[in-house]
Structure 1
Amino acid sequence: MATAVVLVTAGCQFGGEDPGAAVRGGQGTTAGASSVKPVPVSPAPPDRVLAKREAVSGENKLEIAITLLARQERLVTLNFTVSTTTDSTLGWQVGNFFATSPDNDNGSVNGVYLIDPKNAKKHLVAYDSEQHCVCSANLGGQFVKPGGAAVLSATFAAPPPDVAAVDVYIPHAGMFKNVPIS
Structure 2
Amino acid sequence: MSVNKTDIINAAAGVFNKEGYLAPTVDQLSQAAGISKMTLYRHFKDKETLIIATLRNRQNFFLDEIRSLIAVEQTPRAKLLAVFSFYEQWFANPNFYGCMFSKAVNEYGRALQDVMLITAEFKREMCQIFTDILRTILKPEPAERCACITMILIDGAIASAQAADVNSEYPPATTAWQALKAVIFSEGGEI
Q: TM-score, normalised by structure 2?
A: 0.24
Bigger proportion of residues as helix: 2
Q: TM-score, normalised by structure 1?
A: 0.25
> Relative contact order: is structure 1 or structure 2 higher (C-alpha 8 Å, sep ≥ 6)?
1
Bigger proportion of residues as strand: 1
